[in-house]
C-alpha cells in the first residue's frame, strides 16, 4: 500500500494519532463491530500478503471469526510458499532480572521483592554453551532494565564471545540509542526485539509507572533506531491482555508497515507475548485474550505481511503451539529457562513468567517433524564470511 | 483531488509523453495536445551542420508543458552528466530523465552507470527521473540517492510488448516511497490501464503513439486509458477469488476447547 | 612568382565542430553568433559547448572564438 505523499515522512506517532490508534476510547471499536461478512470476504479476496489498514480491520473484526478456517488455510499456504516447510528454533538467554522499571504486569518489576541475579560474562558464556549443546545456533539475549551491569560494553563483549558459536545473536533488552544499536551490530548482534507493550497512550502510562520505559514516545521510536542502526531483524509486539487486542493489532501493523517502507533492508517479525501468571502480579484488571483471538491475530497478520516472521515462545501450552505452527509461525523457542542461570540450574532465581511448554528442544524438534516441517537450527553458515587467521 | 506529485510539483495528468519517432513536428504537437500530458520528454542531439534542421522545439509551447530532457545517447555516467548539464543550460529547467543505454540493440538501461550518474546529478541539484530495468533493489538504491521518481520499463523500448516485467513492477510499486512511472514498452492503451490498475503512479508513452496510424486518436485513447486505470485502482477492485483446496482443518482444535 | 611556388601555404583556420574539423578559408567567425549564422542554425534553440565549457545562450554574441577550439552544438529533438 502506497503512503500518501503528505504523510510519507510522518513519524509513527503522528500516523497513529491521525488514525486514532493511540487512543482506545476513539471510534475504532464501533467500526470493528460494524464490519460485515461481505467486508470480510472482500478483504479475503485481496492479494494474500498485502497490507492495508482497511483489509486488516476486516480480518481482525468479530465478523471474521466465522472465517477462521478459510483464513487459516490461506495463511498456511502463503507461509509455506514464502518460507518453505521449515521452522527456525532459538533459545533465550536471560542475563539479569534486575530492573529499574516498574511495569505493573511484570515479574521483574523493580518494586517486587525477590532475590535478583545477574550473570557475569563467564557465567553467561557457560549458559550459552549449554544452549549450544542442545543444538541451537540462534540465541536471544534477554535482560531487565539493568544498564549499570548489563551495559553496552558487556553486551558487546558477550556478543564477541558468542559469535563464533552462534550464527544468529539477537537481543531483547532495555531501549538504547541508535548509535548504541549500531555499536552492538558491529559487535555481532543482528536482531533486536522490543515490544511497545501497548499502543494506547493512557494504558501505557498506567502500566509503566516509573523508570526509563515510562516514556511512550521514546519507546515508540525504538524500532526506527534499531532498523536505522543497520540491524537485520526487528521484532515488534504488544503484550496481549493489557487492552483491546484488536486495536493493538491495527496499531502494531501500522508500526510494522512504516518500518518496512522506510528500512527496506531490515526484516520485521511479530511476537505474541500473552499475559501469563507471574509471580507477584495481580491479574484481575487484564482483558481477556483467548486462544481463538491469538489464532485470529496471527493469521490476520500473516495475510497482510507475507514475509514477516511470526514468533512463538514457550509462554504457550505445548498443545496450542503444536497447532499454531501450522498457522504461519516461522520461529519457535524451545526448552527455555527464563531465569538467569536457569540452564545450568545453578540458581533458584525467579523466572520472568511461567513456562507452559516445558518440553526439551529435542522433543519440540520431533513434534515439528511430525507435523511435516523441518526444524532449522541455524540459517546459514557465517564461518566463511569471518576473516580467517593467516 | 488525485494529483500526481513529483518533487513537490502537482500534476493532473498521469500520462507522460515522448516526442520521438513522429512523422512531423506538427503531428507531434497535435498528439501531445490530444494526450493531455503535462510532462513532455525531449532528447538532445548534435546539430547536423551539413543539413538544415527541422526545429522541433519550436512546436512545443513551453508555457504549457514541462520539458523533460532525457540523456538518451549517453552510454555511461560521464556522458549522461554532460548531457544533463547541457540540457539545463538550454532550458533553465533542472528536471531530467536519466537514461544511460550502452546497448544499441535493446536500449536497455545500465544499472551501474545510472546509479552513478543519479548520485552525481542529485547532488548537483537536478530533479532526477531515472529510467531503469524493473529491478526492485536498484529502485530502492536510487530512492536512497534522492531521485524524484523511479521509471522501470515494462518491456524494451519500442517493443510494444506491454507489462512483461509485471512481477517485478508489483514489488517496486509496493516498496517505493517515490512515484513509480512505468516507462517503455507499453504498446496499447489497455497496457497503460493495466499498469495504472496495478498501482503505478503514471506511465510514459512514446512509440505506441508516435507510430500509430493515427497518432492523435491514439494519444487520446491513452489519455482515457490512464484515467480509467487510475479510477479503477482507487475504487478498490475485488480480485478474482481463488479459494484454496480444502484440506485437513487447521482451526478445529479451537472448537475442542 | 606566386607564394605557392615558393612553398608558402597560407595557414587555414579550423574549428572542430561536433567532432569534425571544419575549415574556414575566410577565417573563423569572430563570435559564436556569427558561427551559427554562417551555419544557418537558429540560435534560440541551440546549446553550445566550447572545449568542454557550456556557453549560456545569452552570451553567444559576446563569445569570441579562437582557431582550433572544439565546439559542440546540440539541440533538442524528439525523444522518449
At a CB cut-off of 8 Å and minimum separation 6, what does A198 contact? A204, A207, A238, A239, A242, A243, A248
pLDDT confidence of residue A1: 34
The residue whose grid cell reads 523533460 is B68
Confirm whether B123 is a catalytic residue.
no
| The CA-based dihedral angle spanning residues A108, A110, A113, A119, taken in that order and rounded to the nearest 10 degrees | 60
Domains and CATH numbers, chain A: 11-378 (3.20.20.70)
Tell me, letter by letter, the H, E, C secondary structure of A138-205.
Answer: EEEEEECCCCCCCCHHHHHHHHHHHCCCCCEEEEECCCCCHHHHHHHHHHCCCEEECCCECCCHHHHH
- Subunits adjacent to chain B (3 or more Cβ pairs under 8 Å): A, C
HEC string for chain C: CCCCCCCCCCCCEEEEECCEEEEECCCCCCEHHHHHHHHCCCHHHEEEEECCEEECHHHHHHCECCCCCEEEEEEEEECC
What are the pLDDT tens digits along chain A (390 aa)?
333 333 456 799 999 999 999 998 779 999 999 999 999 999 999 888 899 999 999 999 999 999 999 999 999 999 998 888 899 999 999 999 999 998 988 888 888 888 899 999 999 999 999 999 999 999 999 999 999 999 999 999 999 999 989 989 999 999 999 999 999 999 999 999 999 999 999 999 999 988 899 999 999 999 999 999 999 999 999 999 999 999 999 999 999 999 999 999 999 999 999 987 554 455 556 788 999 999 999 999 999 999 999 999 888 888 899 999 999 999 999 988 988 999 988 666 666 666 778 899 999 999 999 988 989 887 765 555 554 444
Q: Would you state the pLDDT for residue C18?
A: 84
Q: Which residue has the higher pLDDT, A41 or C58?
A: A41
Please count the structural domains in chain B.
Answer: 1
Q: What is the pLDDT, as a whole number, of residue A106? A: 86
Q: Is the pLDDT of residue B87 over 80?
A: yes
Give the pLDDT mean for B33-38.
Answer: 97
User: What residue in C sits closest to B49 (Cα-Cα)?
Assistant: C39
CATH number of the domain residue B185 falls in: 3.20.20.70
Partner-chain contact B250 A5, CB within 8 Å:
no
Cα torsion angle, A9, A15, A17, A22, sign: negative
Residue B150 predicted with pLDDT over 80? yes
Tell me which chain C residues have a C-beta less than 8 angstroms from the C-beta of B89: 47, 54-57
Instruction: Tell which wins on pLDDT, A355 or B33.
Output: B33
**Which of B173, B239, B253 lies closest to A323 in CB terms?**
B253
Query: What's the half-sphere exposure (Cβ side, CA atoms, 13 Å) at B209?
Result: 37
**pLDDT by residue (tens digit) across C8-57?**
556 678 999 888 888 888 888 999 999 998 888 888 778 899 998 999 88
Q: List C residues 1-60 in contact with B (Cβ-Cβ < 8 A).
A: 17-19, 22, 39-42, 45-47, 49, 54-57
Chains that contact C by 3+ CB pairs under 8 Å? B
Distance of residue B238 Cα from the nearest chain C Cα, in angstroms: 35
* Active-site option among B97, B116, B217, B243: B97
Which residues of chain B make contact with C49, given a CB cutoff of 8 A?
A: 86
Cα–Cα distances (Å) from B102 to A231, B106, C52, in that order, read: 37, 9, 22
Domains, chain C: 23-74 (3.10.20.30)
User: Distance from A364 to chain B by nearest Cα, in Å?
Assistant: 19
Nearest chain B CA: its distance from C74 CA (Å)? 4
Range of the domain at B171: 4-255
Q: Are B45 and C57 inside 8 Å of each other by CB? A: no
CB within 8 Å: B174 and A323: no
Distance from CA of C10 to the nearest CA of B (A): 25
* CA atoms of C4 and A156, how far apart (whole Å): 87
The separation between CA A128 and the C-alpha centre of its own chain, rounded to angstroms, equals: 21
Q: Where does the pLDDT of residue B90 fall: very low under 50, low under 70, confident under 90, or very high at 90 and above?
A: confident
pLDDT at A301: 98
Question: Is the torsion defined by CA of B46, B47, B48, B50 positive or negative?
Answer: negative
Over the stretch B186-222, which tens digit does the pLDDT of each residue have?
999 999 999 999 999 999 999 999 999 999 999 999 9
Amino acid at each position: 500500500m502506497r503512503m500518501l505523499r503528505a504523510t510519507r515522512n510522518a513519524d509513527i506517532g503522528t500516523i497513529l494519532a491521525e488514525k486514532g490508534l493511540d487512543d482506545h476510547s476513539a471510534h475504532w471499536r464501533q467500526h470493528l463491530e460494524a464490519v460485515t461478512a461481505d467486508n470480510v470476504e472482500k478483504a479475503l479476496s485481496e492479494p494474500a500478503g498485502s497490507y492495508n489498514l482497511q483489509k486488516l480491520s476486516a480480518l481482525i473484526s468479530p465478523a471474521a471469526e466465522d472465517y477462521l478456517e478459510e483464513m487459516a488455510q490461506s495463511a498456511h499456504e502463503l507461509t509455506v510458499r514464502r518460507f518453505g516447510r521449515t521452522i527456525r528454533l532459538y533459545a533465550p538467554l536471560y542475563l539479569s532480572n534486575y530492573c529499574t522499571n516498574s511495569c505493573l504486569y511484570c515479574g521483574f518489576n523493580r518494586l517486587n521483592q525477590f532475590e535478583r541475579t545477574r550473570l557475569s560474562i563467564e557465567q553467561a558464556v557457560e549458559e550459552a554453551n549449554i544452549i549450544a549443546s542442545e543444538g541451537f545456533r540462534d540465541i536471544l539475549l534477554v535482560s531487565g532494565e539493568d544498564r549499570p551491569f548489563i551495559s553496552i560494553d558487556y553486551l558487546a563483549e558477550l556478543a564477541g564471545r558468542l559469535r563464533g558459536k552462534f550464527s544468529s545473536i539477537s537481543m531483547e533488552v532495555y531501549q538504547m540509542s541508535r548509535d548504541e544499536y549500531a555499536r552492538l551490530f558491529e559487535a555481532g548482534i543482528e536482531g533486536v526485539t522490543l515490544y511497545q507493550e501497548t499502543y494506547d497512550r493512557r494504558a501505557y502510562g498506567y502500566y509503566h509507572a516509573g523508570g526509563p520505559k515510562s516514556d511512550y514516545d521514546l519507546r515508540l521510536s525504538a524500532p526506527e533506531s534499531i532498523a536505522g542502526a543497520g540491524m537485520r531483524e526487528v521484532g515488534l509486539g504488544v503484550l496481549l491482555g493489557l487492552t483491546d487486542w484488536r486495536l493493538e493489532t491495527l496499531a502494531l501493523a501500522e508500526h510494522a508497515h512504516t518500518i518496512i517502507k522506510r528500512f527496506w533492508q531490515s526484516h520485521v517479525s511479530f511476537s505474541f507475548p500473552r499475559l501469563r501468571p507471574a509471580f507477584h502480579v495481580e491479574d484481575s484488571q487484564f482483558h481477556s485474550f483467548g486462544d481463538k483471538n491469538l489464532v485470529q491475530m496471527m493469521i490476520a497478520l500473516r495475510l497482510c505481511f507475507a514475509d514477516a516472521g511470526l514468533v512463538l515462545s514457550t509462554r504457550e501450552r505445548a498443545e496450542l503451539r503444536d497447532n499454531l505452527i501450522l498457522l504461519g509461525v516461522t520461529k519457535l523457542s524451545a526448552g527455555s529457562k527464563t531465569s538467569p542461570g536457569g540452564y545450568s540450574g545453578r540458581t533458584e532465581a525467579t523466572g520472568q513468567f511461567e513456562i507452559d511448554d516445558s518440553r526439551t528442544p529435542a522433543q519440540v524438534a520431533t513434534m515439528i517433524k511430525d507435523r511435516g516441517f523441518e526444524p532449522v537450527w541455524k540459517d546459514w553458515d557465517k564461518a566463511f564470511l569471518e576473516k580467517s587467521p593467516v | 483531488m488525485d494529483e500526481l506529485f513529483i518533487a513537490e510539483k502537482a500534476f493532473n495528468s498521469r500520462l507522460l509523453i515522448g516526442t520521438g519517432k513522429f512523422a512531423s513536428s506538427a503531428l507531434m504537437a497535435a498528439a501531445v495536445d490530444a494526450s493531455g500530458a503535462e510532462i513532455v520528454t525531449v532528447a538532445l542531439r548534435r546539430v547536423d551542420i551539413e543539413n538544415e534542421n527541422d526545429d522541433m522545439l519550436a512546436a512545443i509551447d513551453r508555457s504549457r508543458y514541462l520539458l523533460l530532457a532525457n540523456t538518451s545517447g549517453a552510454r555511461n555516467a560521464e556522458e549522461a552528466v554532460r548531457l544533463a548539464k547541457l540540457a539545463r543550460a538550454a532550458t533553465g529547467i533542472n528536471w531530467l530523465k536519466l537514461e544511460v543505454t550502452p546497448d544499441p540493440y535493446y536500449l536497455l538501461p545500465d544499472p551501474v552507470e545510472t546509479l552513478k550518474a543519479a548520485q552525481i546529478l542529485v547532488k548537483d541539484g537536478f530533479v532526477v527521473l531515472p529510467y531503469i530495468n524493473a529491478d526492485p533493489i536498484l529502485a530502492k538504491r536510487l530512492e536512497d540517492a534522492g531521485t524524484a521518481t523511479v521509471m522501470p520499463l515494462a518491456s524494451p523500448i519500442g517493443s510494444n510488448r506491454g507489462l512483461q516485467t509485471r512481477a517485478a513492477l508489483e514489488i517496486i510499486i509496493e516498496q517505493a516511497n517515490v512515484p513509480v512511472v512505468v516507462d517503455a514498452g507499453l504498446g496499447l492503451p489497455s497496457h497503460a490501464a493495466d499498469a495504472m490498475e496495478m498501482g503505478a503512479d503514471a506511465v510514459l508513452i512514446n512509440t505506441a503513439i508516435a507510430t500509430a496510424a493515427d497518432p492523435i486518436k491514439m494519444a487520446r485513447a491513452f489519455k482515457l486509458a490512464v484515467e480509467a486505470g487510475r479510477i479503477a485502482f482507487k475504487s478498490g477492485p475485488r480480485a478474482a477469488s481463488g479459494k484454496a483446496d480444502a484440506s485437513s482443518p487447521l482451526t478445529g482444535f479451537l472448537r475442542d476447547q | 612568382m606566386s607564394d605557392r611556388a615558393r612553398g608558402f601555404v597560407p595557414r587555414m583556420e579550423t574549428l572542430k565542430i561536433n567532432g569534425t574539423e571544419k575549415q574556414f578559408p575566410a577565417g573563423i567567425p569572430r563570435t559564436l553568433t556569427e558561427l551559427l549564422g554562417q551555419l544557418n542554425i537558429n540560435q534560440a534553440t541551440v546549446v553550445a559547448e566550447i572545449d568542454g565549457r557550456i556557453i549560456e545562450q545569452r552570451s553567444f554574441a559576446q563569445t569570441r572564438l579562437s582557431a582550433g577550439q572544439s565546439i559542440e552544438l546540440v539541440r533538442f529533438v524528439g525523444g522518449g
